Structure 1
Amino acid sequence: MATRRTDDGFMNILGLSFDYHDAAAALLSNGRIIAAVHEERFSRKKNDSGFPGQAVACCLEKAGLTAADLDWVVHYERPALKFDRVLRTAMTQPRHAFGRLRETAVDWLRDGKFEVRERICRSLGVARERVVFAEHHRAHAAAAFFCSPFEEAAVVTIDGVGEFATASIAHGRGRDIRPLMSVRYPHSLGLFYSAFTAYLGFEVNEGEYKVMGMASYGTPRLGREMLELFDLRPDGGFRLRQELFDFRWPEDMPFTQRLIDWLGPPRSPESPFRPIGDDADPDVRRSRHYADVAASVQFCTEEVILHMVRHAMERCGCRQVCLAGGVALNSVANGRIQRELGCDLFVQPAAGDAGSALGAALLQWHATPGHPRTPPLTTAHLGAEFGEADILAAIEEAFLIPARIFDTTEELYDGVAERLAEGSVIGWFQGRAEWGPRALGARSILADPRRIDMKTIVNEKIKFREPFRPFAPSVLAERATEYFELDPGGGPSSPERFMLSVCRVRPDKAAEVPAITHVDGTARVHLVERAANPAYYDLIAAFAARTGTPMLLNTSFNLRGEPIVNAPANAIRTFQWSGMDALVMGRCLLEKGEAL
């Protein structure tokens, strides 16, 4: 628990991100991360962009503080610079500039985006002089480097756009991050990927990971042509030809008629995706075309990322690399970075804008002379936590009766392992919620990875989502190399500990774990160590003792279009509305056959 501020240099810093997407709050006390929380988990609004009041309250409660104890509140970007970019963008289209600019200004006035400092002061009751701003990509860089285990590293950030920058390279050393290069709007790898996300029928800033899943079903036959849209610069940067894209107004489609003339009509949202079948079937032909587009976009994106990281390593003269920005969540690219560049890699678990709330706070901490470097981030379990009383109260309020309250954790793990081995799909709700978009054994839906039918069961009957979406394996770290082609020795901050890298499933093991083996023979592995999550580790170990397979199928505890569950009431509602067989919260087990 944090202590109140004193005159001996102790400092409490709250970082905030809001007003675009992924609103969040993060709290540092004396350089230690006390809590980091997404607002969507409380509001239940996916990618909530509003002021993160509930996330702030959670952080302060976890620390035992009030807003009066805060020394600094740091916002993750500079709103005036962002509006300057919007203004300059409008001026590039004189015929439409006045109308567009008026619409944008009205929106900014209505939403209070010109008054960020005032809104923070009103909401938290802090003095104006305690509210400061960080640059967007510097906050990304800080979230990556200062959370890493590296004393020195090449720091690469890539996203859609911040104020003006869309990507950057910096050199991190000790308590300092020195900028080396930035790419400026409209040349953006993140917006390039998002344009094709929209073209393929998915929602921008939400469906990019679906493009990754779809890509595995195609061949990158257009990849080289797409790569020619980029001018890869000797300094590690790039420029993107703009004739196929229109990034200026987010409410419009981010691509032009020229892209349609090249690739054909965009895929209709929710249209069938059946890339496997008879060539004579028009649905199959269309699905294969879109799969090839997705594969080509993924290939091109990986090549640009590798270009940036390779040059960053050369410029910084080191093999340690830190990544942040939304594009850093591209786990397929992260796997290639590790394999092909031979670097030690750290990826911020909340690499998108939510993570910049933490980065903004870290920047402020390290800007003060004499402050020590923050310790490495070794866990993503930084969110809300609920005790047994909260769980039992939620069960009672829902008019349910727990099928069983286990006397010991050993009985709990053995009982859950038995049900999983018999084919049950189970919601698993334990401890503090995860920071970032990955479920890491605190808010997870679990199943038997040995059953091939679990892909269909969990996608269609539990998650209500597209059937081509893959699932991740959570595997005991010491046995991972038996099943996957990876190096498990990356330490407690490696990408595999946060489910942020894709590797190949060993060919002789794919038949044993078909439910977590993607169509291309890969998996996004989550290495589980007892020190990081003892309850989850012991559950997997109990399943391994019963079946011989040291892993579980793991997916996030949510229904399609909803945030990951946060509180017991969210878990109960999701359990009731889905095809899950059982729900475990703490030591309590609910089973539909008995309790509902």
Structure 2
Amino acid sequence: GLDGVPVSRFHHHSNHAASAYYGLRKNWHEPHLLFTLDGGGDDACAQVHLAENGTLRLLAATPTGHSLGNIYAAATHMLGMRPHEHEYKMMGLAPYADPEQAGLQAKVFARYLDLDPADPLRFRRTIPERTSAMLPRLLRDFRLVRFDLVAAGLQRFTEDLVLRWIAGAVEKTGVRKVLAAGGVFMNVKANQRIASWPGLEYFDVFPSCGDETLPFGAVWQCHVRQGGALSDIRFDDLYLGPEAGTDLSDARARYGRVVEFQELDDPELRTAELLAQGHIVARCSGRMEFGARALGNRSILADPSKPSVVQTINRLIKQRDFWMPFAPAVLGERACEYVHVPATLPQPRISPHMMHAFDTTERRADLTAAVHPADATARVQTVWKELNPSFHRLIEAFGRLTGRGVLLNTSFNLHGYPIVSGACDAIEVLLKSGLDDLVVDRWLIRKRGAREAGGPPSAPSVSGLSGQR
């Protein structure tokens, strides 16, 4: 047990705030505002902190029961999706709706929750029941409203309310450097609205900022409380998981009869060549990403200039909802060719963890399969040589072959299942899907008897897909 082991306890929202501040602050000496927002934790669903010289000071807290996160989750549930998991589908659905009609539905949501008139750094519900118990009200109020209008109204309401909250705190404190964490800030379209607001000087969101990253804030707070130097706190990336090849020997023994292994002299170049030829390639390389985003090491990759790959990927493996877009991974040094970057975002490392959405430039045809078809935005991962040298080298090689420094990147998993971890997981997905090309570190792995280059993709295994959700 933990008898005799010293235990330090920190508030749920202070952990969110600390993860953003210690991980993303622009510098130590200037003040930053920290916003945390989620369904609830440790008696609060939102907090605002002021941070300076390594110290956090609480300015305002919203108690549970007044939660924007609760409302978003309840609306997700109302439309038949899983709350606390499928909110991103609501966000992806919203741009398809008529903007004028979306505004009308946003006004309905605005009747439930607003800023507290006594303290605009807090939220206050305007209905009698707690926000966690409002599903019956939503079912009544939206009974005859089309599903896309519900999603669009909810998204508009969310963006407007969060931006007003942040703007009020900036006006009250005069601090224009803002950092954010908590599950609501996984909403990249809301983040895009915030980053584009001219009242900010600096803005960023901690990666995978749901409760899975609370330990980052707890560890950093403990370090500071125990007298640790601020200069010792450093956050670079989320490649924190196991190496892809840890179980490679086991995979060769277990699957050698059904797949063939070809060792590659240059795996990044060979992968780029396959992608340039129109192949869809699964990549399991290096350390696994921590958190909600696939960042190139456990990814399915494709040429995003070909719109047909969306249907192919969905048919072969992903089976995503028809309205959901894929995302692009772009060479960091070429990001401005493809998207408009707000001046508030950290430079030069803009969105290395897919926490922001962007308007695309006139070169959007180069990444059309990874752009939202309704509003031409993209949830971009910028790839930097110093953070992920092998993935950067792969996209660079693809760029030399095609002139396009961008790939479609989606998580490497069967629909409804976790992202693969190592070689055995990766080969299981290869065998249970229509994928043909898998690269695990230096090995190109294919089903025995698979198609020759240029042939049609394999059909998915019916038995392998039967367990998917």
Length-normalised TM-score, structure 1: 0.70
Instruction: Flag the 1:569–1:450 CA change in 2: closer, same or farther, 3 A.
Output: same
Partner in structure 2 of residue 255 of structure 1 = 135
Superposed, which structure 2 residues align to 1:116-515 within 5 Å? 121=1, 126-150=2-26, 151=28, 152-219=31-98, 220-221=102-103, 222-233=105-116, 234-242=119-127, 247=132, 255-256=135-136, 258-264=137-143, 289-340=146-197, 341-387=199-245, 390-399=247-256, 400-407=258-265, 409=266, 412-487=267-342, 490-491=345-346, 496-506=351-361, 508-515=362-369
Q: Unpaired runs of 5+ in structure 1?
A: 1-120, 249-253, 266-285
Amino acid at match of 1:521: A
- 8 Å Cα contact 2:201-2:344 kept in structure 1: no
Decide whether aligned partners of structure 1 residues 393 and 370 sit closer, same or farther in structure 2, where only a CA change above 3 A counts: closer
The answer for the alignment partner of 2:444 in structure 1 is 589
Equivalent-residue separation in structure 1 for 2:425 and 2:347 (angstroms): 30
Q: Given the superposition, is the C-alpha separation of residues 396 and 196 from structure 1 closer, same or farther in structure 2, using an over 3 Å criterion?
A: same
Count of matched residue pairs:
439
- The runs of 5 or more residues in structure 2 that have no matched partner are 452-469
Asked if structure 1 preserves the Cα contact closer than 8 Å seen for 2:284 and 2:297, the reply is yes
1:479 deviates by 1.3
Match for 1:325: what amino acid?
G
Q: Distance in 2 between matches of 1:307 and 1:374?
A: 35
User: Secondary structure, in 3 states, of the residue corresponding to 1:236?
Assistant: strand
Which residue number in structure 2 is paired with residue 518 of structure 1? Answer: 372
Q: 1:558 to 1:242 in 2, by over 3 A?
A: farther
For the residue of structure 1 that corresponds to 2:139, the secondary structure is helix
How far 1:491 sits from its partner (Å)? 4.3
Q: 2:368 corresponds to which letter in structure 1?
A: P
Deviation of the 1:370 alpha carbon: 5.0
Q: 2:404 aligns with which of 530, 549, 564?
A: 549
Q: Quickly say closer, same or farther: Cα 1:228–1:566, change in 2 above 3 A.
A: same
Q: Which amino acid aligns with 2:396?
A: A
Distance 1:527 1:370, change over 3 A: closer
Separation in 2 of the partners of 1:429 and 1:511? 28
Q: Is the 8 A contact 1:477 1:488 kept in 2?
A: no
| Contact residue 244 and residue 423 of structure 2 kept, 8 A | yes
For the 8 Å contact 2:178–2:200, the answer to whether it is kept is no
The CA deviation at 1:358 is 1.7
Where does residue 460 of structure 2 map in the other structure?
none
How far apart are residue 403 of structure 1 and its match? 4.1
1:562 maps to a residue whose letter is Y
1:320/1:247 Cα in 2 relative to 1: closer, same or farther (>3 Å)? same
C-alpha separation between the residues in 2 aligned to 1:211 and 1:523? 16
CA-CA distance at 1:294 after TM superposition: 0.2
Once the two structures are superposed, what CA deviation does each residue of 1:47-84 show, in whole Å capped at 9, x if it has no partner?
xxxxxxxxxxxxxxxxxxxxxxxxxxxxxxxxxxxxxx
C-alpha distance in 1 between matches for 2:210 and 2:339: 27
Opposite residue 537 of structure 1, the aligned amino acid is: H
SS at match of 2:34: strand
Other structure's SS at 1:458 match:
helix
In the alignment, what sits opposite 1:12?
none
Cα separation, partners in 2 of 1:493 and 1:137, compared to 1, 3 Å:
farther
Equivalent residue letter for 2:419: I
After TM superposition, list the pairs within 5 Å mapping 1:41-60 onto structure 2.
Answer: none
Q: Is contact 1:475–1:526 with CA below 8 Å preserved after alignment?
A: yes
Read off the aligned partner of 1:434 and give its amino acid letter: E
Give the CA deviation at 1:263: 1.0
CA deviation vs aligned residue, 1:192-237 (integer Å, no higher than 9, x gap): 1101110121101110111111112113231133223222234322
Amino acid at match of 1:255: L
What letter is aligned with 2:364? A
Letter in 1 for 2:139: I
Cα distance in 2 for partners of 1:548, 1:439 equals: 24
Q: Which residue number in structure 1 is paired with residue 459 of structure 2?
A: none
Q: Report the secondary structure of 2:366's partner residue.
A: coil
Q: Distance in 2 between matches of 1:541 and 1:264?
A: 51
CA contact (8 A) 2:259 2:447 kept: no
C-alpha distance in structure 2 between counterparts of 1:160 and 1:481, whole Å: 35
Does the residue aligned with 1:451 lie in a helix, a strand or coil?
coil
SS in 2 for 1:562: coil
* Structure 1 residues 334-385: Cα deviation after superposition (integer angstroms, max 9, x where no partner): 1111111433222111211110022111121111235334434221112222
Higher alpha-carbon deviation: 178-187 or 416-425: 416-425
Output the CA distance in 1 between the equivalents of 2:271 and 2:347. 27
- Amino acid in structure 2 at the alignment position of 1:144: A
Q: Report % sequence identity.
A: 34
Partners of 1:337 and 1:343 within 8 A in 2:
no
Return the letter of the residue paired with 1:360: A
Distance in structure 2 (CA, Å) of the matches to 1:348 and 1:493:
16
Partner amino acid for 1:160? G
Cα gap change, 1:594 to 1:552, in 2 (>3 Å): farther
Question: Which segment drifts farther, 419-428 or 445-454?
Answer: 419-428
Shift of 1:577: 1.3
Residues in 1 aligned to 2:446 and 2:404: alpha-carbon distance in whole angstroms = 24
TM-score by length of 2: 0.88
Decide whether the 8 Å contact of 2:67 with 2:131 is kept in 1: no
